[in-house]
Chains A and B, each alone.
Chain A
Amino acid sequence: MAIAAPPIEIMLIEDNAADVRLTVEALKDARVANRLHVARDGVEAIRMLTEPDTAMPRPDLILLDLNLPRKDGRDVLKEIKQDEALRHIPVVILSTSQAEQDILHSYRLGANAFITKPVEIDQFFEAMRSLEQFWLTVAKLTRP
């Protein structure tokens, strides 16, 4: 259940409405209180991250789809990792791709984890749960 701490601010950058909702549903089952902020394309994502007057506080964790309209997920990742103010935020790639080169390329650009969008929903919920674990154990260290 919710730990006595402020909720985790999670940013989801994803264009597919069905996948957005699925992530929302998976996070509903989470044991850690969280708030989800959604950007539907790469340009919107960068704007939300860099313009201070948006409704979103600086996220603790970013979930990033690779194939996005307007600005590709790889470019979004590169920009985040090149920005002094943003580079410490853990970025988890969510992708349908299982191609080794996509995975390696993402890590090379500074991704902190790579989750292949699974075909089985139980796997997806499991992956989101392990993300929480990831947050509680590792990512917490980076939190100011």
Chain B
Amino acid sequence: MGSGRSHDAARGAETGPSPPSAPADRLFRLVVESSPNGVVMVDRRGTIVLVNRETERLFGYGRDELVGQSVEQLVPGRFRASHPATRQEFFANPQSRAMGAGRDLFGVHKDGTEIPVEIGLNPIDAEEGFFVLASVIDIRPRQQAEAELRRSNEELERFAYVVSHDLQEPLRTVSSYVQLLSRRYRDRLDTDAVDFIDFAVGGVRRMQHLIADLLLFSRVGTRGAPLVPTDMQAAFDNTLAGLHAALDESQATVTADPLPMVIADAGQLAQLLTNLLGNALKFRGTEAPRAHVGATRAGRTWTISVQDNGIGIAPEYFERIFVIFQRLHSREEYAGTGVGLAICKKIVERHGGRIWVDSTPGHGARFSFTLPAADGVS
């Protein structure tokens, strides 16, 4: 096929050019050759001037079957006719960018198989001429992983449904009849029998709480509202109103910085604050609980922190406390299912942020999480 000036020059660069630039060229060739992406360099007329090993593997051609040929050879038949025009457009306005933004792209293997790909385009303005360096990624492994993830998420949703409907029903029956035994025969039973019934009732109740919390957890991902500009101050005020009784009872003081507008699901934001402030009250020290909600901004991100004066957490548990059903205390010390912070983590991650804790045992804890700012200006 056509071998114009630029083509020859580029091939020269590939096979061993003039001595002064040799080290740079060797480096270039090594970088291109070892790239995990398929690399295809094309000149102004669409002729392939350079390919790397991954391109050979991806498309099933040897490099001598590609270099000197039209790049359209790698384009599936149904797109081949329109490709040269698209190529011209790029040369008219050469900028590094992803090819076919938003569209599904395909390459075609030597055996005719279409390969879903992602392609990055980079203009190269060299002495030898003007080229496009295309970086080609086979996205089949990623698509497989995504499909697998979708399947597993759907499975989890079905599981949550089964838990809510099919397990709660028999559990309610067990609960009802053990309670009926207690209600009707308590006076006629000895203390052992009454104890046994109380343990059974307690166990059922705990299981009901676990199931309810598990549902709450699974719904963070599946039943969330859209993420929109949200007034965190309002979410905080609502949270305080909801915690009113608990705050009064524990004589707690909660203060806050002026809170910003963030991109969030208002309901989940309130749930997040409720769980964190609820923990500040629950894991109180000897003094009356105090909590402060702080807000600091870096770039487009707000970091919100909830500082308390409670019992604190040892550093070795900083990660573990965010895992579902992990608890650091016996149920006799502190009630709970070990789901609260796992829900917090899931909410924050759904918002694209992260959550962590700093603490010295005996000196309170500070939970921090990041959320995107609503104005989005850095």
Contact = CB atoms under 8 A, between A and B. Distances in A.
A96 B183 contact: no
B176 A121 contact: yes
Contacts of A96: 168-169, 172
Contact of A121 (B168, B169, B183, B208): B183
B363 to A, nearest CB: 40
A71 to B, nearest CB: 20
Interface of A: 16, 18-19, 22, 25, 96, 117, 119-122, 124-125
A122 B168 CA distance: 18
Contacts of B168: 96
B208 A119 contact: yes
Contact of A119 (B172, B177, B183): B172
B337 interface: no
B interface bracket (residues with beta carbon within 8 Å of A): 10 to 19
If over half of A's interface residues share one DSSP class (helix, strand or loop), that class is named, otherwise mixed; here it is helix
A76 B351 CA distance: 44
Interface in B331-347: none
Interface of B: 168-169, 172-173, 175-177, 179-180, 183, 208
B173 A18 contact: yes
Nearest to B212: A119
Contacts of A25: 180
A136 B347 CA distance: 49
Nearest to A21: B177
Contacts of A125: 183
Given A119-B175, A119-B208, A22 B169 contact: no
Contacts of A119: 172, 175, 208
Contacts of B176: 18, 22, 121, 124
A120 B180 contact: no
Q: Which 5 residue pairs across A and B have the least CB separation, nearest first?
A: A121-B179, A18-B173, A121-B176, A22-B176, A121-B180
A25 B168 CA distance: 21
Contacts of A120: 175, 179
Contacts of A121: 175-176, 179-180, 183
6 contacts: A16-B169, A22-B176, A22-B180, A25-B180, A119-B208, A121-B183
A19 B172 CA distance: 10
B289 to A, nearest CB: 30
Nearest to A25: B180
A117 B183 contact: no
Contacts of A22: 176-177, 180
B336 to A, nearest CB: 18
A120 B183 CA distance: 11
